[in-house]
Amino acid sequence: MSADDGARTRVPDGPIGDQGPAGAQDPVRAVDPVRAVDPVGDHAISHGGNANTPRNGVVARGDQDGIVARGGDHDGIVARGGDQDGVVAAGRGPESPGWRGDEVPGWAGGVMAVLRALTRLVEVNLLVLAGALAGGLLLGLGPALKAGSAVLHDPDLAMEPWRGFWREWRADWRRSNLLFAPFWLVGALLWADAAAVGQASGPAHAAMLSGLTVASAWTAVVLAWWPRIVLRYDDAAPAVWRYLLLTPLLAPGTALAILVTLAATAAVILGVPLAALAAGASFPLWATGRLVGAKLRANPTP
């Protein structure tokens, strides 16, 4: 797959409107020349002169001190100082997708971050199960895995995981099932091979078991790459699968890390079966998605 095959990355954008001159008698803003707070609760405005404000955020410029403050639904508030201090400060509120519990001082922030991460894993795990069942498993599992991966790795969708999940589940539903269909065929072949291995004996048993192990590991690595590739690129099915089938060879380190992650997850589930209900699908989607995402960022045009 190449960049010329149609690769593209989704980038959110939004319209820009004029907020008007600073200090105007607008009921939304106070007349404090240093900071005005939107009483609706979404926007904070820092200004010293004229301000131009996007619909979903704030851009304020100070005429005297060179301050530029930016904020919005996507990235919170980022304040940039003038030429004298060169300070860049970032602040995020609880409703921002990038808000993290570790921004709360002390041990409370760490506890909040852990609890929020665990809650998100349980939510996405239930959503993947619901999405798979909604499509009768055969037509629901592929879109469910894609949507679950999107919610776990997209801060915008993570703000409202339930709504974001079903939006992604419905988006490109036919394409998702088309690209996922080969996994059903491979799964059937692996199941048949496993049945044959159980009946074989001697050297034939060892040879068939080795082949089955390699094929299963290869399939697991390809499946871990599948959601991130489908979400990132809009290439046709042949181009997508050409790349997917080569990922274990193109990124052997990532493939090994994926196998270790999946093996550790399986060991935990075997020891604590309730873990499968809590994060049996969501944790592998999150962990392997981070591994694949790091590789794609290093090589964005496979």
Q: What pLDDT is attached to residue 59?
A: 40
Q: What pLDDT is attached to residue 104?
A: 58
Q: What pLDDT is attached to residue 193?
A: 92
Q: What pLDDT is attached to residue 301?
A: 64
Residue 11 is assigned to a structural domain of this protein: no
Q: Which of 285, 235, 248, 266 is nearest to 120 (CA)?
A: 285
Residue 267 and residue 144 in one domain: yes
Q: What pLDDT is attached to residue 103?
A: 58
Q: Profile the chain (302 residues) by mean pLDDT over runs of 10 residues.
A: 43 40 40 40 39 40 39 39 38 38 65 86 95 95 96 89 94 95 96 90 90 96 97 93 95 96 94 87 95 90 62
Among 38, 67, 91, residue at a domain's last position: 91
**C-alpha separations of 64 from 79, 283, 297 in Å:** 15, 50, 40
Residue 186 and residue 41 in one domain: no
Number of domains, the chain = 2
Residue 75 and residue 141 in one domain: no
Among 63, 91, 119, residue at a domain's last position: 91
Q: What pLDDT is attached to residue 201?
A: 85
- For residues 147 and 229, give the distance between their C-alpha atoms in angstroms, rounded to a whole number: 13
Domain that holds residue 279: 107-298
Residue 258, amino acid: I
Residue 99 is assigned to a structural domain of this protein: no
At residue 19, the 3 state secondary structure works out as strand
Residue 198 is assigned to a structural domain of this protein: yes
Residue 155 and residue 240 in one domain: yes
Residue 137 and residue 276 in one domain: yes
Residue 8 is assigned to a structural domain of this protein: no
Tell me the per-residue pLDDT of 254-269, one tens digit each, with 9 for 90 and over: 999 999 999 999 999 9
Residue 23 and residue 125 in one domain: no
Q: What pLDDT is attached to residue 14?
A: 39
Q: Which helix (H) or strand (E) holds 52?
A: strand 50-54
Contact yes or no for 209/184 (Cβ under 8 A): no
Residue 22 is assigned to a structural domain of this protein: yes
Residue 69 and residue 195 in one domain: no
**C-alpha separations of 155 from 73, 96, 97, 195 in Å:** 10, 9, 5, 43
Backbone angles phi, psi at 71, to 5 degrees: -155, 165
Among 59, 91, 123, residue at a domain's last position: 91
